[in-house]
Structure 1
Amino acid sequence: MDADVPATTSVTLDVAGRTLRAHASAAPPDAPTVVWHHGTPQSGALLAPVVAAAARRGLRVVSYGRPSYGGSTPAPGRTVASAADDVAHVLDAFGVERAAFVGASGGGPHALACAALLPERATAAVSIAGLAPFEGFDWSAGMASDAALRSATRGREARAAHTDDDGVAGFVEPDWAALRGAWGALGADAGPAGEAWPDGVVDDDVAYAQAWGFTPQEVRVPVLLVHGGRDAVVPASHSRRLLELLPDAQLWLRPRDGHVSVLHALPVAFDWLVDLAAGAVRSSTPLP
């Protein structure tokens, strides 16, 4: 681990007979907290570029493996909304009262779920290359590969039978460059996570392609949406759709970025959270 990346602590929680594996970066007791919601697939372990960017801004990062990932017990039939109860237990375990919820790719819907369903604990939310709800628009338009998600609309058994998606269709050269560089930790985690916990991928996809268990209109905290204009994994139309649905949101579109390279914007998204907390910006002020 890089010298400027703080150490992390991992704990195993018992939540109603299920195990949740959770992680937190080292930080002062009064440090503002960001909950990082991982993409599909990931182990839930903290990624060095996330922790480093947060530490430079005085933020603590908390993360956890969703059910079936990284040592967390499977929970077939879970919805996107199910994340809120799990995250409440994780925050309690680390003694955190309030937090901002940040999700990348498949983590985006789960971050919004926590913002909507834990209103007394949410300060803000950030969705980076995140999905919108399945209903109400042409959800798969512009996706390089939507067969797995389409199969998920027919339920868990149909999605589990779909095994020919390598998960990288739609990556563009800036994505591969990011994985060779600053975001190599993401690729190093995602590959083994997909192989070790295929049920996590199945349950994630079914959750995305069914009713989420809440609506974006229920999110009452400021939300920052960040999306790459060249993203063909989750097209930018998803963030545009979320912008229509969320009561207090703004969209930062990065025209040259794809699905992974857009993560280069994470430090600026953290700056937005810091400024928001300090009252230095209004949630309705457009980003440059």
Structure 2
Amino acid sequence: MPRFALDRTTTTVGVAVLALAGGIAIGGTGAVSASPPAEPKVQNSFDSLGADVRAAKLPSGRTAHYTDSGPADGTPVLYIGGTGTSARAVHMTDFFRTTRQDLGLRMITVERNGFGDTDYDPKLGAADYAEDALEVLDRLGVEHFKVVAISGGGPYAAQIASRAPERVSALHLAAALPPYGDRPAYCALTDDRLRAAVEDQIKDPRVWWAFPDDSPVHAIPGFADTAYEDGARTYNQRGQQADPAPQVHEQRLYCDRPGPDVSKLGAPVFLYHGDKDTTVPASTLAAWRSAFTGTTVKTRTYADSAHDVQYRHWDQILVDLAGRSDRTVVCLSRRTRALPAAEADALVAKDRATLGSCAWND
């Protein structure tokens, strides 16, 4: 029986009367018709699962593995991940991919010796990486570019700045280890002891990529699993079975002193540091600043961050990479804004705004 009955005694002739009757439409003529469901919408193109890792045979005879994501006519940025990362580590910043795309940034990564798809050669150093990266950029037709380096990517960024200062239009160093100043304490360890210190960590990416419970990265949906996947790729992609040799080799490279001469770099340098960072402490900022004698150095420090400042304030780094360092990213009245720096600072000082995207508050 229909849920609703049609009272024909109240129906005026010539006027259509519709009543719901178990999903059936009844017209004024008494005819019964079924409304077909709307046509499903299916997209015409694929959504990206992330940039492909490509291989390039270089003039040196080495094979470089790299990714290239973003608009071909966008601002080229060489992304150098931290120690123990693959060419796909850039996707750990995809939680602000929409902002990156809106700013027209093209992210290019070049994988380092022994990680991911890239063969291990114990004879290669940081300068060889710089050579490979520049040759990949040449192959892509990129003459001038910006550099952003995270953590253990710092010494490699310095090599790029030293080798091709005229091609680097800006250098951004986030919690980046400098190849200047005091050597890391572990440099006094033997290779066997250093191997023992890292091998258990890299066997389990969940250990290698463990952040403290209070780290803001835990607020990013899927961040931990993305990091674990990159850790597995870094140490197992070619069947390395978590061989610690490449990692020990890279750790040794961080001990090399003196670092390269970057005094000819005329492009601006940006330093990002978390006040709670004990991995790359505040003293390293002075080491970086003393190395760049031919340019201006801007430092952004954050009380809310440790060795995760590169992720917690990736929104600001993106704005800086886009050439808008005159703006500061804040959350104001539940809306993310990139305001003039003085205005933003005043609002934050009055507790009317917080630094970074409103996504962090959610």
Q: Where on the TM-score scale, by shorter chain, does this alignment land: which range?
A: 0.7 to 0.9
Q: State whether structure 2 residue 313 is matched by structure 1 residue 265.
A: yes
Give the secondary structure class of the aligned counterpart of 2:82: coil
Give the secondary-structure state (helix, strand or coil) at the position aligned to 1:217.
coil
Q: For the Cα contact (< 8 Å) 1:32–1:99, is it kept in 2?
A: yes
CA contact (8 A) 1:115 1:220 kept: no
Q: Which residue of 2 aligns with 1:39?
A: 82
Alignment partner, residue 173 of structure 1 = 213
Are residues 23 and 169 of structure 1, via their aligned partners in 2, closer, same or farther at CA, if it must alter by over 3 Å?
closer
Q: 1:26 to 1:107 in 2, by over 3 A?
A: same
Work out the CA distance in 2 between the residues paired with 1:128 and 1:4: 30
Out of 44, 57, 67, the position equivalent to 1:14 is 57
Superposed CA offset, 1:206-230 (max 9, x none) = 1111136513434332110101111
Residue 42 of structure 1: how far off its partner (Å): 0.9
Higher RCO, Cα 8 Å, sep 6+: 1
The aligned counterpart of 2:360 is none
C-alpha distance in 2 between matches for 1:91 and 1:220: 20
Q: Quickly say closer, same or farther: Cα 1:194–1:256, change in 2 above 3 A.
A: farther
Tell me if 1:24 matches 2:64. Answer: no
1:254 aligns with 2:285: no
Q: Which stretch of the first structure deviates more once superposed, 185-194 or 54-63?
A: 185-194
- 1:130 is displaced (CA, Å) by 0.7
Mapped partners of 1:124, 1:198: distance in 2: 33
Once residues 47 and 316 of structure 2 are traced to their aligned partners in structure 1, the CA distance between those partners, rounded to angstroms, is 18
Report deviation, 1:89. Answer: 1.3
Q: 1:126 aligns with which of 172, 190, 195?
A: 172
TM-score by length of 2: 0.64
Partner of 2:120: 74
Which residue in 1 is equivalent to 2:149? 103
Residue identity opposite 2:81 in structure 1: H
Report the RMSD for the aligned CA atoms in angstroms. Answer: 3.2
The structural deviation recorded for 1:33 is 0.7
Render the CA deviation track for 1:200-253: whole Å, top value 9, x for unaligned.
312211111113651343433211010111112222221232123322212111
Asked whether the 8 Å contact 2:65–2:111 carries over to 1, the reply is yes
Letter in 2 for 1:241: A
Per-residue deviation at 1:78?
2.8
CA contact (8 A) 1:107 1:130 kept: yes
| % identical equivalent positions | 23
Whichever of the two has the greater Rg, that structure is 2
Query: What is the TM-score normalised by the length of structure 1?
Result: 0.79
- Give deviations 1:13-61, integer Å, cap 9, x for gaps: 112222211110031x321111110111111214335351422311110
CA separation of 1:169 and 1:121: change in aligned 2, threshold 3 A: closer
- The structure 1 segments of at least 4 consecutive aligned residues displaced by more than 6 Å after TM superposition are 3-6
Instruction: Specify whether residues 212 and 24 from structure 1 end up closer, same or farther in structure 2 by C-alpha distance, changes over 3 A only.
Output: farther
Query: Offset at 1:164?
Result: 5.9
Give the corresponding residue for 1:143: none
Displacement after TM superposition at 1:180 (Å): 6.0
